[in-house]
Amino acid sequence: MNQTPLILSTWRFGQIANRAGWAILSQGGNALDAAEAGCRAVEEDPSVTSVGFGGYPDAAGEVTLDALIMAAPHRCGAVACVRDYLPAISIARRVMEKTPHVLLVGPGAEAFAAAEGFPQRSLLTREAREAWQRWKQEHGGNIFDKHSGDNSLAQDAHDTIGVLALDVEGRIAGGCSTSGLPFKLPGRVGDSPLVGHGLYVDPEVGGAVGTGHGELIMRVCGTFLIVEEMRKGSSPTAAIKTALERINRQCRPNPRQQAAFIALRRDGEWSAGCLRKGFQVAVRSAKVDTLMEPPLVLMDGE
Ligand code: ASP
């Protein structure tokens, strides 16, 4: 499974990311640009209701975005709980390139985006607003019982775009971007913008990106764990299995909660895995352009 260049992305809409990223990688461009372009393309697509423009809002009706970009422990940047500015992945990249910080949140991140020249715009589409209104009617706006993880709409609509890219020079970079769980408690931030939780990249080893219930992934430092397992010699599949088993054993996921990962080693070997069926990985290289089931489903048959 190892080819260079290569781009891997989460979920069906990962194909949108791969198309944008591949346009860069296939021309000899670098992995960081490809990861950013991939996330950006999905953020700008209003039909994707879990990322960027068109993402479902929080319980108060506000769309808030989380994103992280990473090429190495000394090259990463993130934003969380950002309203009214897009693309979150590009704001995260500016945090990395223009500040001594790693993570900016809320109004501070928005002020930074404005100062960097990102235009202010509403991220709430009519479709997303109507979905929020339906949710309020059906659930009386009661968010607290939703955090048991039994919110069926949340189950259907959450999904982060996560991208791992490997360029012709052998550089690895990753990006992830999400509007988080739909109708979340205002202020809630998941795994995605947190280094080592939603995404981790170490050029000495490789990278991993996660998606699914952030509350599961961020309890075990999911992507950091995977990269550390690969550092010790595990294959990408075995490393993902370790993280999924840890989540299953220690985080008590309910039967409807998903966690999924993609891992890419610096030699180009990669894998993907999830707690239960439903996750797909989009893969693109010079030889392959496909959407596939992950090689590992921890609880097959559920
Ligand atoms: N992990 C994201 C979050 O918890 C959502 C997802 O990937 O489905 O915010």
Rounded alpha-carbon distances, angstroms, from residue 67 to 80, 89, 198: 6, 5, 9
SS3 235: coil
The reported pLDDT for the residue numbered 220 is: 98
SS3 30: coil
Q: Scan for tokens 């998606």, then name that residue.
A: 211
Q: Scan for tokens 């981790």, then name that residue.
A: 200
Give tens-digit pLDDT for 95-137.
999 999 999 999 999 999 999 999 999 999 999 999 999 999 9
Query: Could you tell me how many helices (H) and strands (E) the chain has, helices first?
Result: 9, 13
Dihedral pair phi/psi, residue 278, rounded to 5°: 125, -25
Tokens standing for residue 264: 């890419």
d(CA 136, CA 56): 13
Closest C-alpha residue for ligand 1 atom 9 = 180
d(CA 285, CA 288): 5
Dihedral pair phi/psi, residue 39, rounded to 5°: -65, -40
Question: Would the CB of 223 count as within 6 Å of ligand 1?
Answer: no
The reported pLDDT for the residue numbered 148 is: 41
H helical segments located in 202-273:
214-217, 222-231, 236-250
Q: How far is the CA of 160 from the centre of ligand 1 (A)?
A: 5
Q: How far is the CA of 180 from the centre of ligand 1 (A)?
A: 5
Catalytic residue (one of 160, 178, 211, 242)? 160
Q: Scan for tokens 């995977």, then name that residue.
A: 226
What does the angle CA 86 – CA 94 – CA 269 come to, to the nearest 5 degrees? 90
Which of the listed residues 155, 156, 160 should we mutate to test ligand 1's pocket, taking the one with most ligand atoms within 8 A of CB? 160
The reported pLDDT for the residue numbered 152 is: 42
Question: Would the CB of 58 count as within 6 Å of ligand 1?
Answer: no
Q: Scan for tokens 């607003």, then name that residue.
A: 129
Which of the listed residues 64, 184, 191, 216 should we mutate to test ligand 1's pocket, taking the one with most ligand atoms within 8 A of CB? 191
Enter the pTM of the model. 0.94
The reported pLDDT for the residue numbered 157 is: 58
* 160 in active site: yes
Question: Would the CB of 266 count as within 6 Å of ligand 1?
Answer: no
d(CA 292, CA 297): 12
d(CA 114, CA 130): 28
Which of the listed residues 181, 185, 258, 261 should we mutate to test ligand 1's pocket, taking the one with most ligand atoms within 8 A of CB? 181
Contact status, residue 290 vs residue 298, Cβ threshold 8 Å? no
Q: How far is the CA of 287 from the centre of ligand 1 (A)?
A: 30
The reported pLDDT for the residue numbered 263 is: 98
Q: Which residues, listed in sequence order, are joined to residue 199 by a DSSP beta bridge?
A: 195, 209
Question: Would the CB of 192 count as within 6 Å of ligand 1?
Answer: yes
Name all domains of the chain by residue range, CATH numbers in brackets: 6-297 (3.60.20.30)
Question: Would the CB of 18 count as within 6 Å of ligand 1?
Answer: no
SS3 212: strand
Average pLDDT of the chain? 93
Contact status, residue 79 vs residue 184, Cβ threshold 8 Å? no
Question: Would the CB of 49 count as within 6 Å of ligand 1?
Answer: no
Per-residue pLDDT of the chain (302 residues; tens, 9 = 90+): 567 899 999 999 999 999 999 999 999 999 999 999 999 999 999 889 899 998 999 999 999 999 999 999 999 999 999 999 999 999 999 999 999 999 999 999 999 999 999 999 999 999 999 999 999 999 876 665 544 444 444 445 568 999 999 999 999 999 999 999 999 999 999 999 999 999 999 999 999 999 999 999 999 999 999 999 999 999 999 999 999 999 999 999 999 899 999 999 999 999 999 999 999 999 999 999 999 999 999 998 75
Strand bridging mode 199-202 / 289-292: unpaired
**Buried b / exposed e along 150-179 (16+ C-beta atoms within 10 A):** ebebbbebbbbbbbbbbbeeebbbbbbbbb
Q: How far is the CA of 141 from the centre of ligand 1 (A)?
A: 21
